[in-house]
Amino acid sequence: MKLLATVTAAAAFAVGGCAVPAAMSTPVSTPTTLSSDTVSATQTATSPSGVVYGWAWSDGQGHLRIVPKAESFVKQSSGFTGYRLKDVPGAEEVRLDYGAATFGRVTVECGLKETEGNVALDAKGLGRTACTPADLTDGLERGPVALRAEYRTGKATRINEILVSDWPDLRTATGTIQRVNDTTVLLSTGGKQVKLGYSFATAFYRTTAGCGDGWLTGRPVNADKDGLGKKQCSADDLTAALAKLHDPVRVKVDYTPGVDSLEQVWEVFGDA
What is residue 16's predicted lDDT score, i.e. its pLDDT? 54
> Reading across the β-sheet that carries 27-29, which strands appear in turn?
27-29, 69-76, 81-87
What is residue 192's predicted lDDT score, i.e. its pLDDT? 95
Residues 6+ apart with CB under 8 A from 78: 24, 25, 26
Is the pLDDT at 48 greater than 80? The verdict is no
Is the pLDDT at 172 greater than 70? The verdict is yes
CA distance 204 to 66: 25
Share of the chain above pLDDT 70, in %: 82
CA distance 36 to 39: 8
> Looking at per-residue confidence, does 25 or 77 come out higher?
77
What is residue 77's predicted lDDT score, i.e. its pLDDT? 77
> How do residues 226-239 score in pLDDT, each as one tens digit?
999 999 999 999 99
CA distance 159 to 141: 17
| Residue 129 φ/ψ region, left for φ over 0, alpha for ψ in the -120 to 50 degree band, beta for the rest | beta
> How do residues 91-122 score in pLDDT, each as one tens digit?
999 999 999 999 999 999 999 999 888 999 99
Alpha helices in the chain (DSSP H): 2-13, 41-46, 133-142, 235-243
Residues 6+ apart with CB under 8 A from 94: 44, 45, 52, 65, 66, 67, 68, 151
To the nearest whole number, what is the mean pLDDT of the chain? 86
Phi, psi of 45 (to 5 degrees): -75, -25
Is the pLDDT at 50 greater than 90? The verdict is yes
CA distance 203 to 160: 29
CA distance 146 to 18: 6
Is the pLDDT at 10 greater than 80? The verdict is no
pLDDT band at 271 (very low <50, low <70, confident <90, very high): low
- pTM here is 0.81
Nearest alpha carbon to residue 201 among 16, 55, 1: 16
Q: What is the mean pLDDT of residues 135-144?
A: 96
> How do residues 179-195 score in pLDDT, each as one tens digit?
999 999 999 999 999 99
CA distance 135 to 107: 11
Nearest alpha carbon to residue 72 among 127, 5, 134, 125: 125
| 175 touches 262 (CB < 8 A) | no
pLDDT band at 47 (very low <50, low <70, confident <90, very high): low
- The beta strand positions in the chain, using DSSP E, are 27-29, 49-58, 63-66, 69-76, 81-87, 94-97, 102-105, 129-131, 145-152, 155-161, 171-181, 184-189, 192-197, 203-206, 231-233, 249-256, 261-267
